[in-house]
Amino acid sequence: MLIQKLRLQRGWSQEQLADLSGLSVRTVQRIERGQPASLETMKALGAAFEIDFSDLKEPGMNSSQQTPSQTVSNDEALALAHVRKLKGFYIHAAQYAITIGFLAVVNIATSRHYYWFLWVALAWGIGLLFHALQSFDKIPFLNGEWERRQVEKQLGRRL
């Protein structure tokens, strides 16, 4: 989360950070999801952010040397997770639009008497609709509030 916070503070995309650090975009994504990074990777990220790589440790690993601007609060972690969820939906929507557009062109070019791409658009569109409802917390049994209530029900107490 700290890497993501530093990247967002600078207004960089994951691709820009990957270019600046000499890492792959996949590596940056993996680290931002909380997976461990090698010493060489941490050094490359430290160089990109122009800070000592030891300062890139997550809070709790070495809390005595963390500065307040480098820690990620619970609210920030939730906000970052929500933004990742929205980004995933927008990528899904773009993939839908591009693919259905391509299929429509192919369908019209090959057989104008039967528009089969509409079946693909309908089926995928239903999936996209559910993804949108989940991303924007419109499905009451899939949002964080429902999860909290279920955890409290299992515990028999409030969180």
Name the percent of the chain lying above pLDDT 70: 85
Q: What is the pLDDT of residues 64-112, one digit of tens each?
A: 444 545 556 666 766 777 888 899 999 999 999 999 999 999 999 999 9
Residue ranges per domain, the chain? Answer: 2-70, 74-155
Unique residue bearing structure tokens 């609060």: 73
pLDDT at 60 (0 to 100): 46
1-5, 48-52, 82-86, 126-130: least confident range: 1-5
Residue 37, C-beta contacts closer than 8 angstroms, at least 6 positions apart: 27, 30, 31, 45
Highest mean pLDDT among 8-17, 84-93, 94-103, 129-138: 94-103
Q: What is the pTM of this model?
A: 0.58
pLDDT at 64 (0 to 100): 43
pLDDT at 66 (0 to 100): 45
pLDDT at 62 (0 to 100): 43
pLDDT at 73 (0 to 100): 67
Residue 131, C-beta contacts closer than 8 angstroms, at least 6 positions apart: 88, 89, 92
| Homologous superfamily assigned to 2-70 | lambda repressor-like DNA-binding domains (1.10.260.40)
Residue 145: CB atoms within 10 Å: 10
Backbone Cα Rg of the chain = 21
